Amino acid sequence: MVFILVKIENICLGKCPLILAPMEDITDSSFRLICKDMGVDLLFTEFISSEGLIRDAVKSKRKLDFSEKERPIGIQIFGHDIDSMKLAAITATQSKPDLIDINWGCPVRKVASKGAGAGMLKDINKMVKITSEVVQSIDLPVTVKTRLGWDENNKNIVEIAERLQDVGIKAISIHGRTKSQMYRGEADWTLIGKVKNNQRMKIPVFGNGDITEPQHAFEMKNKYNVDGIMIGRGSIGNPWIFKEIKHYFETGRFLAKPELLEKVKVCRNHLENSIEIKGERTAIFEIRKHYSSYFRAIPNFKQFRIKLMTLTDLEEIENLLTEIGNSCR
Ligand SMILES: Cc1cc2nc3c(=O)[nH]c(=O)nc-3n(C[C@H](O)[C@H](O)[C@H](O)COP(=O)(O)O)c2cc1C
């Protein structure tokens, strides 16, 4: 397998970089820091509404925050209006990320029905126009994350990728599903491979969709020659996946799966990061959606789950996490 050094302009990402996929309400700074410790090579913020950003919406502004440790990091924006997208990109640039990413892939109704996210897969001319304007209005590299096309009859990612490259994007991440598929079916990497192996493409192409195991990542890299692999759901409750893939790529062997005590330790770090960034109250509430993912494999987790989902006192949560750690000894 060929491993070449991957760069987005002058941002060096190493050989076959692993990328944490942006995930709203999951990949906040507290989780990104956990993944960074596990060897991830490139991070993105959760997507940020261009309209929210230019109107100073608190939720949008907060999503701009990241720490120096997270570099290289891209701020991802979404929207459907040229002026708002340009202004949002300029605003996001003030937070000094390493790059700006445009989301042309979100299929969720409240986004796509307005023509933002994957909604723009229905109007490629406008997608190219907005992307071009954003590229021209900032000095940072601009990347795009998108899907294979609108639906089964319109899988035009090869053409889309060429056109976006032509207006100056510096890398593209492709989720191997159409807008119509939402998250159904299996991700199809064959078209991602076609984009990568298109002679006209010069920018890095990152493949995304359904990677949950090291050997699957290896297979996709081997088969389709993508420049990097982006992982979303496979990292939720399992940030070790990045370490495992790196180890497998380097040695051809599987890294031992994390023990329960290790899971407790990382979950605790995740909570601590979150407390530092968002304060105790919010952190205790937000970490709840991660508990089941961290501990799903424990046979007796059900008995702890209800308590974890209701406790509000940090000391009690800490004690319960210790109890969980000791429960399988
Ligand atoms: C809960 C959730 C939130 C997501 N939020 C975003 C987002 O903010 N921006 C984005 O580009 N994609 C978002 N996605 C899509 C993922 O980045 C990724 O493309 C998709 O999950 C497929 O990759 P996977 O199979 O590795 O999860 C989200 C996905 C999930 C499950």
Q: How confident is the model at residue 49 (pLDDT cuts 50, 70, 90)?
A: very high
Alpha carbons 253 and 256: distance in angstroms, whole number:
9
173 and 190 within one domain: yes
Residue 134 lies in a domain: yes
Per-residue pLDDT at 328 exceeds 90: no
Question: Does the predicted TM-score (pTM) go above 0.95?
Answer: yes
Q: Which two tokens stand for residue 106?
A: 């979100």
Q: What is the pLDDT of residues 215-273, one digit of tens each?
A: 999 999 999 999 999 999 999 999 999 999 999 999 999 999 999 999 999 999 999 99
In the set 16, 106, 267, 328, the catalytic residue is: 106
Distance from residue 290's CA to the centre of ligand 1 (Å): 16
The answer to whether 271 touches 317, Cβ cutoff 8 Å, is yes
Residue 1 lies in a domain: no
Average pLDDT, whole number, for the chain? Answer: 97
The answer to whether 232 touches 23, Cβ cutoff 8 Å, is yes
208 and 95 within one domain: yes
Ligand 1 atom nearest 47 alpha carbon: 8
Q: What is the pLDDT of residues 294-307, one digit of tens each?
A: 999 888 898 899 99
Domain boundary among 251, 272, 304: 251
**56: three-class secondary structure by DSSP:** coil
Strands 48-49 and 43-44 come out as unpaired
Residue 93 lies in a domain: yes
Q: Assign residue 275 the CATH number of its domain.
A: 1.10.1200.80
The answer to whether 85 touches 132, Cβ cutoff 8 Å, is no
What is the percent of the chain with per-residue pLDDT over 70, rounded to a whole number? 100
Ligand 1 atom nearest 187 alpha carbon: 25
Question: 106 catalytic, yes or no?
Answer: yes
Closest-CA residue to 239 (of 72, 47, 40): 40
Q: Which residue matches tokens 């991602």?
A: 192
Distance from residue 320's CA to the centre of ligand 1 (Å): 31
Question: Ligand 1, atom 19: nearest CA belongs to which residue?
Answer: 175
pLDDT value of residue 329: 65
285 and 172 within one domain: no
91 and 109 within one domain: yes
The answer to whether 115 touches 80, Cβ cutoff 8 Å, is yes
Alpha carbons 76 and 222: distance in angstroms, whole number:
28
103 and 84 within one domain: yes
Residue 80 lies in a domain: yes
Residue 267 has φ and ψ, to the nearest 5°, of: -60, -40
Residue 267 lies in a domain: yes
Partners of 172 in the beta sheet? 144, 205
Ligand 1 site: residues with CB under 6 angstroms?
21-24, 26, 46-47, 76, 103, 105-106, 145, 175, 208-211, 231-234
Residues 6+ apart with CB under 8 A from 317: 271, 284, 308, 311
- Ligand 1 pocket test, candidate residues 42, 175, 236, 242, most atoms within 8 A of CB: 175
Question: Ligand 1, atom 10: nearest CA belongs to which residue?
Answer: 22
Domain count, the chain: 2
281 and 237 within one domain: no
The answer to whether 318 touches 262, Cβ cutoff 8 Å, is no
Q: Can you give the residue range of the structural domain that contains 271?
A: 260-326
Ligand 1 atom nearest 117 alpha carbon: 11
DSSP code for 152: T
Q: Where are the alpha helices (DSSP H) in 227-279?
A: 241-251, 260-278
279 and 225 within one domain: no
210 and 147 within one domain: yes
Ligand 1 atom nearest 231 alpha carbon: 26
Domain boundary among 234, 251, 268: 251
Residue 41 lies in a domain: yes
Domain boundary among 195, 224, 251: 251
Residues 6+ apart with CB under 8 A from 60: 48, 49, 52, 53
